[in-house]
Chain A
Amino acid sequence: MSNGAETVLQFKGRMITVTILRLLAPGPEAVAAALDERFRDAPGLLSGLPTVLDLEALGEAPSGLDLKALQDLLRARGVPLIGLRDSGEAVRRLAAVGGLPVLKLDGGREVPRQESGSAARTASQAPTGSSQTLVVTQPVRSGQQVYARGGDLVLTAAVSAGAEVLADGHIHAYGPLRGRAMAGVVGDTGARIFCRRLDCEMVAIAGRYRLSEQITDAEREGPVQVRLEGDSLVIERL
């Protein structure tokens, strides 16, 4: 056996959810102020979620944009910037200078994040007591997203198809779970998803996912839990 590349490296493909931050004005001060205002309403909205900057709305302005300042102010707010959305030559130049990758993001599905931001403000979704658990009693509807940062997510109403629920910890769903459910989103491989019936469009734990079509009818019948065993997702009846 030769000491080939495969003993040193392994290549694997994986899909991740990214936040796209669309910049509508170039000034770092204005961006910082707007972000702070957003975070006041919805703390943790973007924290820890890989974020791609979209500068398309700025037209030709990107060349004059202070990317370094933007990167710094995002980092200071816990938002990891992983690249720029490829929207033309000016952006590619800017990325090259700043040492950031450009990402083609066409063909994906976009889910507005700000709606969950305002939803996260309602009293029913406030973290309970001093624990990090987020309890959501309102339905999470198509196009909405709820993220329990730093803890578990408890859902007592339905999660619709086209909705997205995320938690750094476990997800407990007591109503129908029809959307996308992602537990352990910052890498906790011990996170689990518990539900009464697995009707999800997608389930994921720490980035390992299964799509609806990869879930058998028998596996859907609940109550079930989803957990990681090594590198594979296990769906089992409770």
Chain B
Amino acid sequence: MAKIVVVTSGKGGVGKTTTSAAISTGLARAGHRTAVVDFDVGLRNLDLIMGVERRVVYDFVNVINGDANLKQTLIRDKRVDGLYILPASQTRDKDALTTEGVERVLNELSEDFDYIICDSPAGIERGALMAAYFADEAIVVTNPEVSSVRDSDRILGILSSKTRHAEQGNGPIPGRLLLTRYSPERVARGEMLSVEDVQEILAVDLLGVIPESRAVLNASNAGTPVILDEDSDAGQAYADAAARFLGEEREHRFLDVPRKGLFGRLFGS
């Protein structure tokens, strides 16, 4: 039985797809069979960030409609063993994701994988609800600014009641916060909320803080999940987050303005 994890945010463009690619790669690299599923029907993106866009033959909607089976559709990652991508459709509309269809595909994936990472579309509409509905756990991606935090709060509220888990009377699914595009300089200048501010508002466990980094854009241009760029700050921060996801304790890094060095440690030490 796989653990199903939704990567969600409410607000768009905050780093869900970047995160889905990085975390799923991190889990697979740690030896867990992982499938990453693009729920953003009509705007597929995950395949680009994973660098498999030229290998897409069938997609999620084809599997739901029975035009293709999972085996034909899943794309095996060539860099990391045990990592598979289920791409979204570029052409279909969002209504193609029916609850029964999604459930059937997730059930089938569950038999073969340890983790299923669901890359949610933005918003709180049907697509996002569908990505979250079958989840056992959530990673809520947030940028350190008021509107993004507000949307994440909203999503956390929705997750507390609108999942299968909650509807079966098992309470809210656990949700953890991943704060991305964090810029200590801008926090210091008061232009962005600090980690503490965001945690104080959202009151959920912190999975990680990913710094604002050029490495993310470079990685997505190259079609390589940034976690594989082990020399980069963002890559290392994602590696920490993936390790924490698997239960390891790791200190939070990249929270201070660089070069403040020894004294700058604000957190976790």
Binding site for B on A (CB under 8 A): 115, 118-119, 121-123, 138-144, 157-158, 160-163, 176
Contacts and interface: CB of A to CB of B under 8 A. Distances in A.
Given A141-B160, A143-B158, A157-B203, A118 B153 contact: no
Interface of B: 150-151, 153-154, 156-158, 160-162, 166-167, 169, 171-172, 200-201, 203
Contacts of A138: 160, 172
Contacts of B151: 142
B161 A162 contact: no
B84 to A, nearest CB: 34
A162 B153 contact: yes
A138 B161 CA distance: 11
A118 B162 CA distance: 8
Chain A interface, DSSP helix/strand/loop, else mixed: loop
A119 B154 contact: no
B162 A115 contact: yes
B138 to A, nearest CB: 13
A144 B203 contact: no
Given A118-B166, A142-B151, A162-B150, 5 more contacts: A115-B157, A141-B153, A143-B157, A158-B201, A160-B201
Nearest to A123: B171
B157 A144 contact: yes
B177 to A, nearest CB: 13
A119 B160 CA distance: 7
A162 B150 CA distance: 8
Nearest to B170: A122
29 contacts: A115-B157, A115-B158, A118-B161, A118-B167, A119-B157, A119-B160, A119-B161, A121-B169, A122-B166, A122-B172, A123-B171, A139-B157, A139-B203, A140-B157, A141-B153, A141-B157, A141-B160, A142-B151, A142-B153, A142-B154, A144-B157, A157-B203, A158-B203, A160-B153, A160-B201, A161-B150, A162-B153, A163-B157, A176-B200
Contacts of B153: 141-142, 160-162
A115 B150 contact: no
Contacts of A143: 154, 157-158
Contacts of A158: 201, 203
Contacts of A122: 166, 171-172
A161 B154 CA distance: 10
Contacts of A161: 150, 153
Contacts of A157: 203
Contacts of B203: 139, 157-158
Contacts of A139: 156-157, 203
A36 B170 CA distance: 23
Contacts of A121: 169
A217 B156 CA distance: 29
A158 B153 CA distance: 11
A82 B242 CA distance: 54
A41 to B, nearest CB: 10
Nearest to B171: A122
Given A122-B171, A160-B201, A161-B150, A142 B157 contact: yes
A118 B172 CA distance: 11
B156 A115 contact: no
Contacts of B169: 121
Contacts of A160: 150, 153, 157, 201
Contacts of B150: 142, 160-162
B161 A115 contact: yes
A121 B169 CA distance: 8
A140 B166 CA distance: 16
